[in-house]
């Protein structure tokens, strides 16, 4: 069997997605997600112009060899564009392998380690009362874990707080919109939100919060300590991760668990934090970290250091990425949580899939391969539309990390 063709498909059923579809000379197909939010066309070009020509004639069964060929052979390694492209190829090849074997991919990864994948939803509101209503809605839907985000009094907009509470898309404009941020207002308000949520829903509901990289290490330490009475499952992305020694300072001051890594694209981005146990959950996912092959390496390394998975699962990751993530989630021994932001009906039409939600869990399905596909006719009805994530500025006008 050889790879006979590979197509890069860009579509926008409410938001942009980039998908690689590999076709073998025996008619077996595989799909991989290559979406890079706000930089989609960079990955499309990388795949179309620099990767697809290298795939034609290769043996699709040689997944590891192809991964090394694209990673080592390019000389210019890592980075979000390169690793998203490699991820698409790797994921598509795993899809092909599962179909040829007649097995869901998780069976090729060692089989089930659990019956279902625990997911968390996003409860958010402009006010605390709105937040409580949204948390209750997710609990009623069966969720066992909920991320809580709330508007900050005195700020016109807060990233992570949406109008549509079920289908949130933060990339909101053809040019980046701008919002004002105040760390002082945020730090004063967040503990009061969680005090009311915990009082309302009791001690067993898993609660999470995303800081979106906005704090310095000492500010994050202060936040983590103030949240300790409310027993969060994790505080996500408390600081920008470029200076990873900052996580050590946070660790010295709080026992609130830390999750980070959704923007990481290789094991080298995560190895220091994992090895020194400066985090509790690693958040990188299939499309960002070079596919199933490389993400499995990250998770295996994390397992040696008591770090669990907590893969990113926002709406800018297509159903192809989510389906692939679930195949890993169900198999690895150190699974923690899986983020689950629901896609729109239009997106689900373009990407028909087998995974399903029930009683707080996602189930990957039992069909051979990943259990997901792309409907190219449907995709063609939704052309690319530029969209960017917003930019934050402090009250004095200084650009601020998210």
Cα 369 from Cα 300, distance rounded (Å): 22
**Do 172 and 295 fall within a single domain?**
yes
Residue 254 lies in a domain: yes
**pLDDT score recorded for residue 165:** 65
The answer to whether residue 267 sits within a structural domain is yes
Task: Classify residue 374: in a domain, yes or no.
Answer: no
- Pick the catalytic residue from 122, 189, 209, 212: 212
Cα 1 from Cα 9, distance rounded (Å): 23
What is the chain's mean pLDDT, rounded?
Answer: 96
d(CA 119, CA 121): 7
User: Is residue 280, in this structure, part of any structural domain at all?
Assistant: yes
How high is the pLDDT of residue 401? 73
pLDDT of residue 160: 83
pTM of structure: 0.96
- The verdict on 125 and 30 lying in the same domain is no
CATH number of the domain at 47, please: 3.30.390.10
**pLDDT at position 270:** 96
The closest alpha carbon to 20, from 386, 385, 381, 372, belongs to 372
Asked if 76 and 219 sit in the same domain, the reply is no
CATH for 117: 3.20.20.120
What's the pLDDT score for residue 175? 84
186 is catalytic: no
Q: Which domain holds residue 344?
A: 108-366
In-domain check, residue 397: no
Does 159 participate in catalysis according to the annotation?
yes
Tell which of 104, 134, 151 closes a domain. 104
H-run or E-run covering 188: helix 183-201
Which residue stretches of the chain have pLDDT < 70?
165, 402
Q: Is the same domain home to 193 and 89?
A: no
173 and 285 within one domain: yes
* Number of residues that make up the chain: 402
Catalytic residue among 69, 159, 384, 388: 159
Torsion angles phi and psi, residue 134, rounded to 5? -70, -40
Q: How far, in Å, CA of 357 to CA of 3, rounded? A: 34
Q: Are residues 255 and 346 in the same domain?
A: yes
Same domain membership, residue 220 and residue 82: no
Residues 194 and 296 in one domain: yes
Domain count, the chain: 2
């Amino acid at each position: 069997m050889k790879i006979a063709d590979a197509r890069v498909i860009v579509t926008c059923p409410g938001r942009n997605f980039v998908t690689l579809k590999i076709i073998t000379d025996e008619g077996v197909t595989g799909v991989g997600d290559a979406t890079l939010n706000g930089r989609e066309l960079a990955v499309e070009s990388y795949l179309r112009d620099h990767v697809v020509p290298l795939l034609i004639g290769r043996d699709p069964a040689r997944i590891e060899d192809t991964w090394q060929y694209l990673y080592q052979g390019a000389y210019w390694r890592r980075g979000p564009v390169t690793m998203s492209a490699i991820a698409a190829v790797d994921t598509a090849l795993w899809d092909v392998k599962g179909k040829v074997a007649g097995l869901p991919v998780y069976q090729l990864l060692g089989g089930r380690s659990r019956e279902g994948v625990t997911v968390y939803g996003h409860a958010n509101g402009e006010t605390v009362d709105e937040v409580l209503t949204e948390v209750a809605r997710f609990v009623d839907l069966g969720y066992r874990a909920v991320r809580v985000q709330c508007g900050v009094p005195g700020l016109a907009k807060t990233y992570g707080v949406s109008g549509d509470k079920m289908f949130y898309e933060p990339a909101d404009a053809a040019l980046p919109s701008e919002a004002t941020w105040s760390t002082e207002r945020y730090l004063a308000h967040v503990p009061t939100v969680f005090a009311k949520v915990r009082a309302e829903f009791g001690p067993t509901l898993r609660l999470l919060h995303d800081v979106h990289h906005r704090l310095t290490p000492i500010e994050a330490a202060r936040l983590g300590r103030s949240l300790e009475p409310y027993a969060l499952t994790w505080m996500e992305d408390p600081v920008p991760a470029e200076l990873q020694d900052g996580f050590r300072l946070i660790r010295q001051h709080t026992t609130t668990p830390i999750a980070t890594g959704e923007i990481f694209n290789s094991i080298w981005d995560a190895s220091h934090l994992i090895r020194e146990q400066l985090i509790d959950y690693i958040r990188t996912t299939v499309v960002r970290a070079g596919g199933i092959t490389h993400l499995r390496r990250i998770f295996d390394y994390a397992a040696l250091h008591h770090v669990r998975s907590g893969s990113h699962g926002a709406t800018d990751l297509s159903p192809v990425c989510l389906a692939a993530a679930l195949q890993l989630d169900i198999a690895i021994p150190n699974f923690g949580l899986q983020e689950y932001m629901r896609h729109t009906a239009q997106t689900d039409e373009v990407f028909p899939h087998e995974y399903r939600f029930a009683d707080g869990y996602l189930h990957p399905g039992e069909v051979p391969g990943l259990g997901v596909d792309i409907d190219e006719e449907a995709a063609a009805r939704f052309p690319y539309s530029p969209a960017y994530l917003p930019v934050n500025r402090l009250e004095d006008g200084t650009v601020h990390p998210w």
